[in-house]
Amino acid sequence: MTLLAGCGDDRAAEVSPPAEVDPVTLVSGTAGRGAEATHATDVSEDAALATYVEQFDDPFAAKVSAAAGRIDVGSGQVLLAQVVAIGCDAPTSAHVRGHVIVPAKVASPLQECFAPVTTVALAVVPD
């Protein structure tokens, strides 16, 4: 017979919950136009947002503007926007790395589509 013995405390290690991360809001629209970007644009000011959405067709520009308007931007923070994908598929999530928003890879990408889908990511980050 083998006996196992241990020293120490049987309590589970106390682990702090992960830091709160602001989610990335994804807005997608079929044939919304625009161009994929390698970095995000600060659209915290109304004029900056209006200039940013000029690249899209009117319905998609309105959709992006409305989504941005629903996001709370606190003191010491900025709202970033970035076209993260244009293609047959829309990513379902993304994360922020510095001032770049990186979309998750689409699990089963479509090979063909009738019209490309433009996806814009919006995220609040420290200023």
Q: What is the mean pLDDT of the chain?
A: 85
- What's the average model confidence in pLDDT over 90-117? 90
- pLDDT computed for residue 28 by the predictor: 97
**Domain boundaries along the sequence of the chain:** 25-126
Q: List the strands of the sheet with 117-126, edge to edge.
A: 25-30, 117-126, 77-87, 41-42
What does the pLDDT read at residue 22? 57
